Structure 1
Amino acid sequence: MAGDVVWGAGLSGEILTGALPTQLDVRSVRGPLTRAALLAHGVDVSDVFADPVFLLPSFFPDVVSGENNADEVLIVPSVDEISRFDGSNVASPFAEPLKLINRIASAQFVTGSSLRAISVAEAFGVPSRLILPVGAHPFEYVDYFLGTGRSSIVFASSLSQALAMGPEDAPEVPLDALRDAFPLDLWGRAASVGNANAAKNATKSSSYIARRAEADAERERIVSSMPWGASDTDAQALLRLDQLTAQDKPADGVTREEAQILGLSLPHLGPLRRTAGVVLSIVVPTHNVRDWVEATLKSILAQNVPKMQVIVVDDHSTDGTLELLRNIAEGDQRVQVISAVTSGGGSARNIGVDHARGKYLIFCDGDDIVPDGAYAALISSLEESGSEIAIGDYLKFSPNDTWRPTAAMEAFDRPQLKTSIADEPTLVYSRPCWNKAFRRDFWESQHIRFPDVSRSNDIVPMTRAYLLARRIDIIEDVVYLYRDRPGTSSMTARARSAASTVSYFEQEAECARLVISAHNFALNAIYSSLIFDRDGFVHIAKYLQCWAGPSSSDELVSGAVEELLRLTERPPLRIHPLKRMTLVFVSLGDFRAAAAAVQLLDEDSISETESVAKLWCDFIKGLTNLNDPIDSEDLRFFSERVADALKQGAMEFESRVSRDALLAASEGLFGESFVRAATLFDFIDSDTVAFIKLRAEVGGSVSDVSGGASLILRGSSRVGSDRVSPILYDPASTTHPWIAPRSVEWTEEGEEFSWTAQWDAGSLPMHRSVVPALADTTEDIAVPVPVRAEPPEYVGFDTFLYRSVRESLFIDRRRHWAIRAVRRGAIITRDRAVHMPARAKSGLQKLLLSSD
């Protein structure tokens, strides 16, 4: 089924009776014939060849009984050929499994037509020879031997021939790779170091064309490995591979570009491709959104627009999303579900566009919400104005917050009809594809397509659409609710990886080239602000927040940023100088100075292991290495901030090292008089000494966090319960900042102590962040504990919310889920009572009349 994980299986070689699902996660296969056939159908397949039966000796090392009555020759027929062999040395394939394995492993020689028995014998090192079953197709047998490194095998056709030929050559099996490919992640465990299939294939092209090409390459490797004048069985196996490859080529889940290259005729790509009466086509790409997609589609199908076409393109989901989508489609004929062959959100959107039949085109992601009346308002505006694009307002929401990103975009200050990007250049700040409606003939005539990249696949097509549209409407209605999903599964969480960062900046460079081609000075200036003050800075800041030192990916990130800055105007001085310098430092490859700048912008996020002085020292060193002179206003700003850091830092430094290094770096930049003035702030109080001493003595960290009805933290420290106790620290409380746990269990482990502490939900303040800490049992002082554990994934029923900032974990208690559900229901009921804007009503009436 779609979404299944395959480990160590193989095709039987029979002609398939139904379409092969392309959305499979194949971690290892029996042999190269199976791999080539699956690749040809667009399935992502590992190149680990091995049957899991070879791991039997690892799990059952004592299976060999060592009995004296072991068979000299053991015959195991296939299930279809039990009557072909007889005698006391014939073992039934239906025997109790462990007893049969024991008998095979104890034999001196194993033969017969059971491929499974032969593989068990080879796993235990027992000499064996396969007898090819009468009338069986040799595909799977050749596949098995090719997968175990034997390309010149000759099968026996009878028992006497098998005995005369003797044992086959020993198999070559990559046991470590087979073990590492096992899908431990399905049981919630971390994948093995060698389970690199997912990571390795992430660097490959995910397109159907690329997999077809790899299938051809695999076939060529098979042919070249076979001896000249291959046997009839080899020839039959290759012929069956060609038959499987040519069978049931995908017709729905490929893009038009792939279809053209491969010579596929797709019936839905007609000249006009418009079905009479279809007003609106909505394209919904999905990937592992089972928990949210039902609500998304419900909000779409509730839109009061006649004759909608909802095209859902599933991009290789593995969580049951596709099955849920098909169940929904069975109940509503407006929904069409397509299983994408090519991986990637960009291809999924393009496939959806290729199936669109409506006059208008809208995009929606599979985990968001469309407010009532949103699509009617967008389409009504286009009906009234004749514009190519209509854009609406949107909100973003998370479990504990809702905000309006467009509040800082002038283009959204007032509704407008028939405007343009030249008149409203701040539109370039808003480049998601899902808060817009397009005339489909405009989209098609301008050949707008989404690229298949790991991040930001909509910013280039949206920038193109803005620049190509003659008229754009901006309406005041909120037409989209974007779900900011916590946890590691959302695109937001994945944005911090190096590959995603490079992908974003490469796409942004394409946008910069488009902006340059517009020859609009106002747009150029706005776009520069977008890079240095908004999207560009946000993306590089996320990368730098996880930066722990030089890595091989830094050069790629630096090169991508350097190319973008080459295409972008110098930023205006109104942008915060630390933001401007962050991107400049990254473009020069100085990630240490850039990371310091990001942390200094948010000093609350500075970890206990780093001081403000050290960060300013790294930043100042970066400034002294610049070739270009520093603006005088920036220089004044930096000197004032460094002076403040020295004043404040005199009470916080564990030693004078960071302070003295900062003074030395500052002298070259700010002058000797600055250094003389800064040395006046040289004092430290007794409370700070006690804090520093306790922090150095305690050490340790939090290693596990779990929530639910109560909060449980597990951690360690260098001292035990006679010195410290775990607490939660409430920085906002002026009366009871320390929250003691309900229970604490201590365990001594060598030179360290482990502890497990539990808090009842009611002991935490409501909607106020607390952090883990260790309190001195003899003095009124506590130190925060660094958290090495990943916070739990977001669960709607969890009493707590978690937010990581470097080595700190902020924990918020929230109301019981039942109370939240009641409140949410009241809000939805209230919102539905709000009448649709008059303009939307009028436009919708016209639309209904015109579509009859």
Structure 2
Amino acid sequence: MKNEYPLVSIIVPVYNAELFLPYCLSSILTQSYSNLEVILVDDGSTDSSPSFCDKIACTDNRIIVIHQKNRGIASAQNTGLNTAHGDYIAFVDNDDILDRRNIELLLRALLETGASMSKARWQQFGLSQLEEIKEKASIGVKAAAKYTILKNPLYLYQTVFCKSLRVIGNTLNFATEAKYFNEANWCRLYKREIWDKIRFPEGQYAQDTAIASNLYEIMPTVVDIETCLYYWLQRPDSVTHKMKSSSFYHDHVVAARRNMEICFNQRITPARSYYTLMGNLQHEKKAAKTDEEIQQYNRDEIIAQSLTSSLSPMNRLLCETLRQIRYFEKTVYDHKIKNMR
């Protein structure tokens, strides 16, 4: 008989998050669905996060704490995956907050549809809103909104990403927002077998982007829930908000290359990865200062030329048009969202 209440493993990479970790863990431990395994991977934190993890583990036997030397978020996520016993896998960033019904509704959607992954909507918030969001999330959404079952998530990931076009599509009743996929692993619930042969590349940035196409390629269907179940804290000191090194941009170029090669094999136009490739290549050129960095940029430029030459003129035009639209949107996004307080 199929288990009606399967174990869900929640993986939380922890690094110097003493100010936010209590909010995050409180939202996890008070989930309406209680059959959880909460894996806290302390990745060599130098603040009070490690002791906090140990103390809270003494209060709840669902918590597993692992301490390791600092090796980066990819290593922490892989450690969590290697430790997990659950039938389903979720990831949570250590400074974000889950709606009280997050796991309940994501799991229900999977059980009712048989999809490989369920996803929901999220909301960004600033530091000044911590208490407000904590209260809102603790109440929980009233009911699950409609499901949208999606096929060929790799195609959707690569083609549906411009916010303005998603708004237009929703206005025309095409459920375009439901078709939006990004690289983030949070606000999702996965069947465990999706991760059987996939791990994050360690020692580099853009670890989530690097495996996005690998994940979506093997998913027959995904189910989207039209409700907000996750709150994403915008911190000015986060890596994605402040990192501007040449190696940061290079790693995104490498990730885009991996995704584009998979798309070419699947005969899918890699519009989103084209946007990632070209944008980060430009940033890498500006950031490269040392001889080694300049040589790396030159190699990346040759790779980019090879990849883009594989596109037909029509697909190249499509990719470039979507890139320009998205570039404008990102300019607005960076000003409005990343500067939240």
Which residue of 217, 235, 244 corresponds with 1:496? Answer: 244
What pairs with 1:768-779 in structure 2 (closer than 5 Å)?
none
Q: Is 1:440 aligned to residue 161 of structure 2?
A: no
2: CA distance, partners of 1:576 / 1:459:
17
Please, which of 256, 260, 266 is the counterpart of residue 512 of structure 1?
260
Partner of 2:271: 528
- Asked whether the 8 Å contact 1:390–1:436 carries over to 2, the reply is yes
Aligned position for 1:594: none
Paired residue type of 1:449: R
Report the identity percentage.
Answer: 22
Partner of 2:78: 350
* Secondary structure class of the residue paired with 2:74: helix
Determine the structure 1 residue equivalent to 2:234: 484
User: Matched residue of 1:567: which SS?
Assistant: helix
* Equivalent residue letter for 1:374: N
State how far apart, in whole Å, the 2-side matches of 1:299 and 1:508 are.
Answer: 33
> Are the structure 2 counterparts of residues 484 and 310 from structure 1 closer, same or farther at C-alpha, using a change threshold of 3 Å?
same
Question: Cα RMSD (Å) of the superposition?
Answer: 3.3
Distance (Å, rounded) in 2 between the aligned partners of 1:308 and 1:483: 23
For residues 576 and 344 of structure 1, do their structure 2 counterparts lie closer, same or farther at Cα, with a shift above 3 Å needed? closer
Does the 8 A contact of 1:496 with 1:539 survive in 2? no
Q: 2:156 aligns with which of 424, 427, 432?
A: 424
Where does 1:309-388 land on structure 2 (aligned, <5 Å)? 309-341=37-69, 343-388=71-116
User: Partner amino acid for 1:509?
Assistant: R
Q: 2:297 aligns with which of 557, 569, 575?
A: 557
Per-residue CA deviations over 1:228-273 (Å, capped at 9, x if unaligned) read xxxxxxxxxxxxxxxxxxxxxxxxxxxxxxxxxxxxxxxxxxxxxx
* 1:466 aligned residue (216, 225, 230): 216
How many angstroms does 1:415 deviate by? 4.0
Matches within 5 A, 1:251-270: none
Residue 60 of structure 2 aligns to which amino acid in structure 1?
A: D
Alpha-carbon shift at residue 357 of structure 1 (Å): 1.2
Letter paired with 1:314: D
Asked if structure 2 preserves the Cα contact closer than 8 Å seen for 1:363 and 1:436, the reply is yes
Q: Cα gap change, 1:317/1:559 in structure 2, threshold over 3 Å: closer, same or farther?
A: same
Evaluate the alpha carbon distance shift between residue 435 and residue 566 of structure 1 in structure 2; reply closer, same or farther with a 3 A threshold: farther
More helix, by proportion: 2
Output the CA distance in 2 between the equivalents of 1:577 and 1:476.
Answer: 28
Q: TM-score, normalised by structure 1?
A: 0.31
* Equivalent pair of 1:278/1:309 in contact (CA under 8 Å): no
Distance 1:365 1:419 in 2: 27
The within-5 A match list for 1:196-345 is 279-341=7-69, 343-345=71-73
> After superposition, where does 1:85-164 map in structure 2 within 5 Å?
none
Tell me by how many angstroms 1:537 deviates: 5.2
Q: Over alpha carbons, which structure has the higher Rg?
A: 1
Q: Kindly state the Cα deviation for residue 326 of structure 1 after the two structures are TM-superposed.
A: 0.7
The whole-number CA distance in structure 2 between the counterparts of 1:428 and 1:505 is 22
**Cα gap change, 1:564 to 1:286, in 2 (>3 Å):** farther
For 1:558 and 1:370, the matched residues in 2 are separated by: 43
1:301 to 1:505, Cα distance in 2 relative to 1, 3 A: same
| Counterpart Cα distance in 2 of 1:332 and 1:382 | 27
Instruction: Please give the alpha-carbon distance, in whole angstroms, between the structure 1 residues aligned to 2:20 and 2:298.
Output: 36
CA distance in 2, matches of 1:356, 1:276: 19
> 1:379–1:561: structure 2 CA closer, same or farther, 3 Å change rule?
farther
Question: Could you list the per-position Cα deviations for residues 421-451 of structure 1 after superposition, in whole angstroms to 9, with x for gaps in the alignment?
Answer: 266343675111112111113322xx01111
For residue 283 of structure 1, give the secondary structure of its aligned residue in structure 2.
strand
Question: Could you say what secondary structure the match of 2:33 adopts?
Answer: coil
User: Partner of 1:713 in structure 2?
Assistant: none
CA distance in 1, matches of 2:304, 2:71: 27
Provide the rounded CA distance (Å) in 1 between the counterparts of 2:205 and 2:119.
Answer: 22
Letter in 2 for 1:466: Y
Q: Which runs of 5+ in 2 are unaligned?
A: 131-145, 161-178, 332-337
| Structure 1 residue 561: Cα displacement | 4.5
Equivalent position amino acid for 2:49 in 1: T
Deviations 1:280-320 (A, max 9, x none): 00011111111111111111111111310000111111112
User: CA distance change for structure 1 residues 466 and 317 in 2, over 3 Å: closer, same or farther?
Assistant: same
Give 1:454 shift: 2.6
1:555-593 deviation line (CA, Å, top 9, x unaligned) = 31342244245224324253476999xxxxxxxxxxxxx
Describe the shift of the 1:422–1:452 C-alpha distance in structure 2 as closer, same or farther (beyond 3 A).
closer
Which of residues 190, 195, 199 in structure 2 aligns to 1:449?
199
For residue 542 of structure 1, report the CA deviation from its aligned partner.
5.5
Q: Classify the secondary structure of the residue corresponding to 1:449.
A: coil
What letter is aligned with 1:289?
A
Quickly say closer, same or farther: Cα 1:539–1:398, change in 2 above 3 A.
farther
Q: Is the 8 A contact 1:364 1:434 kept in 2?
A: yes
Q: How does 1:636-647 map to 2 (within 5 A)?
A: none
Is the 1:280–1:309 contact (alpha carbons within 8 Å) kept by the matching residues of 2?
Answer: yes
Distance 1:315 1:450 in 2: 15
Q: Give the Cα separation in 1 of the matches to 2:323 and 2:210.
A: 27
2:154 and 2:6 map into 1 onto residues whose CA distance is: 33
Cα distance in 2, alignment partners of residues 517 and 399 from structure 1: 43
In structure 2, distance between residues paired with 1:346 and 1:337: 17
After TM superposition, give the deviation of residue 396 of structure 1 in Å.
2.3
Alpha-carbon shift at residue 518 of structure 1 (Å): 1.4
Cα distance, 1:347–1:466 mapped onto 2, change above 3 Å: same
C-alpha contact (below 8 Å) 1:282/1:362 kept by paired residues: yes
Cα distance in 2 between the residues matched to 1:393 and 1:556 = 37
State how 1:775-794 maps to structure 2 within 5 Å. Answer: none
CA contact (8 A) 1:528 1:571 kept: no
Q: Residues 529 and 571 of structure 1 are in contact (CA less than 8 Å); yes or no, is this contact kept in structure 2?
A: no
Give, as a single letter, the amino acid of the residue that structure 1 aligns with 2:295.
Answer: E
